[in-house]
C-alpha cells in the first residue's frame, strides 16, 4: 500500500472514531451498527427499516446493516434486540404485536419484558385499518351492522391474518365495544382471507386501507368505518368507528424503534433526532403515505408511555377473546 493510501485510510478511521464518540458508541471504529427488523424483505416494516438504515450513516458516522429476524409474531427479532449490547451497536424495529398484544397473548412464554428490556427511541409510523364487509350484508353504517349482527349471532364471521394479529384483535375489540358476537376465522395472512371475504365465505374483515381500497372502489367490498380515530387520507369519506357511536374505539398497527435496556440516553436521543429528521423528509412521507403508512414520531419518553398504554389496552381484549399461543 502506498504512503498516501495509508494516510487516507487513517484519516477515514479517525473520522469514524470521532463520529462514534459523539454519540457514545462503544463498538470498534468502522464496525457496522445492526438494525434488527421483524419481517421478511419487501413488506412495509422492512421498507421503513431500510429507509432509516439508508439515512442514518450521515448522522452517526457508521454504516447500518439490516437483519431480518422473523417469526413468533415478531418476538424472535425483538428478543435479538433485547440481547444486544447497550452501546448503540444494535437497535431495531418493534410493533404493536411485540410491544402491545404479545405480552398478554404469549404470557409466560414471552422471551423478553416489553417494558423493562428495552429503551424506546421513537414511534415511526402507523398503518390504519378499515372495517369492510361483503355487500350481501344489508348494512351501510356501523349502527346498521351492529343491529344486523345482533339479530344474526351465528351468521357473521370475520377473517384475519392470524390469531393475535391486530386484525384479529380489532374484531374482538369490536365485539366487546358493541356487544356483538362475530366468529373469528384465522387465515395465514390477509391475502388468503380477502378472496373469501369477496366471495362471501366470511362477512367481515378489519384490514389495512391499502389492501382494501381497490375492492372498495370497485364495489366488491363495502367500507363501514376506519378503526383509528383519524380518517384515512386515501378514504376520507369513510368515518372512523369512533365517530359512529363508539368514541373509545381506536386501533392502529404501529411500528417503532427501540434499543436494548441500559443504552445511554445520549445515544438514544441521538438516534431519536436522526430518525425523526430522516422520516420528516417530505418525499419520504409522501412515498409511505401512498402505501398506507402515516409517518409519526415522538420523544423516547412519550413512546415509553405509549407502549405501556398499548399493553394495558390489549390485555382485556386478549383475555376476552380467549386467544393464546400453544
The secondary structure of 227-238 as a DSSP string is SSSSPPTT-TTS
Shared domain check, 84 and 16: yes
> Between residues 273 and 15, which one has the greater pLDDT?
273
Shared domain check, 155 and 119: no
Q: 59 lies in a domain?
A: yes
β-strand pairing of 64-68 with 33-37: parallel
Say whether pLDDT at 27 is over 90. Answer: no
Q: 326 lies in a domain?
A: no
Shared domain check, 277 and 222: no
Shared domain check, 119 and 11: yes
Shared domain check, 283 and 199: no
Average pLDDT, integer, range 243-247: 96
Shared domain check, 270 and 236: no
pLDDT tens across 107-140, in order? 999 999 999 999 999 999 998 899 999 999 999 9
Q: Is there a contact between 91 and 121 (Cβ–Cβ < 8 Å)?
A: yes
Say whether pLDDT at 287 is over 50. Answer: yes
Ranking 47-51, 69-73, 264-268, 321-325 by mean pLDDT, the lowest is 321-325
Q: Is there a contact between 260 and 82 (Cβ–Cβ < 8 Å)?
A: yes
Q: 249 lies in a domain?
A: no
Shared domain check, 146 and 123: no
Shared domain check, 238 and 146: yes
Shared domain check, 61 and 44: yes
Q: Which domain holds residue 194?
A: 128-243
- Could you tell me the pLDDT band of residue 25, with boundaries at 50, 70 and 90? low
Q: 202 lies in a domain?
A: yes
Which residue, among 116, 61, 68, has the nearest Cα to 267 in the 3D structure? 61
Average pLDDT, integer, range 52-57: 96
Say whether pLDDT at 216 is over 80. Answer: yes
Q: Is there a contact between 81 and 35 (Cβ–Cβ < 8 Å)?
A: no
- The owner of cell 423528509 is 281
Shared domain check, 116 and 9: yes
Look at residue 29 and give its three-state secondary structure. coil
Total number of domains in the chain = 2
- Could you tell me the pLDDT band of residue 68, with boundaries at 50, 70 and 90? very high
- The owner of cell 421503513 is 48
pLDDT of residue 290: 77
Q: What percent of the chain has pLDDT over 70?
A: 90
- The owner of cell 457508521 is 62
Domain boundary among the residues 186, 213, 243 is at 243
Say whether pLDDT at 295 is over 80. Answer: yes
pLDDT of residue 231: 86
Per DSSP (E only), the strands in the chain are: 33-37, 64-68, 90-95, 118-133, 157-160, 183-186, 204-208, 222-226, 252-260, 293-295
Q: 47 lies in a domain?
A: yes
pLDDT of residue 7: 34
Q: What percent of the chain has pLDDT over 90?
A: 71
Q: 98 lies in a domain?
A: yes
Ranking 171-185, 236-250, 255-269, 311-325 by mean pLDDT, the lowest is 311-325
Shared domain check, 132 and 208: yes
Average pLDDT, integer, range 159-181: 91
- Could you tell me the pLDDT band of residue 30, with boundaries at 50, 70 and 90? low
Q: What DSSP assignment string belongs to 127-194?
A: EEEEEEE-TTS--SSHHHHHHHHHH-TTS-EEEESSTTSHHHHHHHHHHHHHT--PEEEE-SSHHHHH
Domain boundary among the residues 196, 213, 243 is at 243
Say whether pLDDT at 4 is over 70. Answer: no
Shared domain check, 202 and 285: no
Q: Is there a contact between 98 and 74 (Cβ–Cβ < 8 Å)?
A: yes
- Could you tell me the pLDDT band of residue 17, with boundaries at 50, 70 and 90? very low
Say whether pLDDT at 23 is over 70. Answer: no
Angle, CA of 248, 312 and 73, to the nearest 5° = 105
What element of type H or E holds 58?
Answer: helix 57-60
Q: In whole angstroms, what is the distance from residue 263 CA to residue 275 CA?
A: 17
Domain boundary among the residues 243, 277, 295 is at 243
- Burial category of 3 from C-beta neighbours within 10 Å (exposed 0-12, middle 13-18, buried 19 and up): exposed
**For 241, phi and psi rounded to 5 degrees?**
-60, -35
**What 8-state DSSP symbol labels residue 36?**
E
Q: Is there a contact between 144 and 278 (Cβ–Cβ < 8 Å)?
A: no
Mean pLDDT of the chain: 89
**For 197, phi and psi rounded to 5 degrees?**
-65, -45
Q: 317 lies in a domain?
A: yes
CATH number of the CATH domain containing 189: 3.40.190.10
Amino acid at each position: 500500500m502506498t504512503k498516501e493510501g495509508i494516510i487516507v485510510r487513517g484519516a477515514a478511521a479517525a473520522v469514524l472514531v470521532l463520529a462514534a464518540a459523539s454519540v457514545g458508541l462503544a463498538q470498534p471504529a468502522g464496525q457496522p451498527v445492526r438494525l434488527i427488523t421483524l419481517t421478511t424483505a419487501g413488506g412495509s416494516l422492512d421498507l421503513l427499516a431500510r429507509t432509516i438504515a439508508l439515512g442514518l450513516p450521515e448522522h452517526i458516522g457508521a454504516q447500518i446493516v439490516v437483519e431480518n429476524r422473523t417469526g413468533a409474531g415478531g418476538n424472535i427479532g425483538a428478543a435479538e434486540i433485547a440481547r444486544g449490547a447497550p452501546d448503540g451497536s444494535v437497535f431495531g424495529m418493534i410493533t404493536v404485536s411485540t410491544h402491545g398484544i404479545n405480552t398478554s397473548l404469549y404470557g409466560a412464554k414471552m422471551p423478553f419484558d416489553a417494558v423493562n428490556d428495552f429503551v424506546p427511541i421513537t414511534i415511526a409510523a402507523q398503518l390504519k385499518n378499515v372495517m369492510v364487509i361483503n355487500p350481501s350484508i344489508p348494512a351501510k353504517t356501523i349502527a346498521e351492522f351492529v343491529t344486523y349482527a345482533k339479530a344474526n349471532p351465528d351468521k357473521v364471521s370475520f377473517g384475519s391474518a392470524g390469531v393475535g394479529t391486530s386484525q384479529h384483535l380489532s374484531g374482538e375489540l369490536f365485539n366487546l365495544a358493541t356487544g356483538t358476537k362475530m366468529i373469528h376465522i384465522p387465515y395465514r395472512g390477509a391475502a388468503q382471507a380477502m378472496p373469501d371475504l369477496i366471495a362471501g365465505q366470511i362477512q367481515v374483515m378489519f384490514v389495512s386501507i391499502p389492501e382494501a381500497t381497490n375492492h372498495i372502489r370497485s364495489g366488491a367490498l363495502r367500507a363501514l368505518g376506519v378503526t383509528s380515530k383519524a380518517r384515512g387520507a386515501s378514504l376520507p369519506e369513510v368515518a372512523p368507528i369512533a365517530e359512529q357511536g363508539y368514541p373509545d374505539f381506536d386501533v392502529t398497527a404501529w411500528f417503532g424503534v427501540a434499543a436494548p435496556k441500559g443504552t445511554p440516553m445520549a445515544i438514544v436521543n441521538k438516534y431519536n433526532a436522526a430518525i425523526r429528521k430522516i422520516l420528516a423528509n417530505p418525499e419520504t412521507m409522501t412515498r409511505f403515505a401512498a402505501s398506507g403508512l402515516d409517518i409519526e414520531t415522538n420523544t423516547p419518553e412519550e413512546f415509553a408511555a405509549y407502549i405501556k398504554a398499548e399493553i394495558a389496552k390489549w390485555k382485556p381484549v386478549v383475555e376476552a377473546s380467549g386467544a393464546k399461543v400453544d
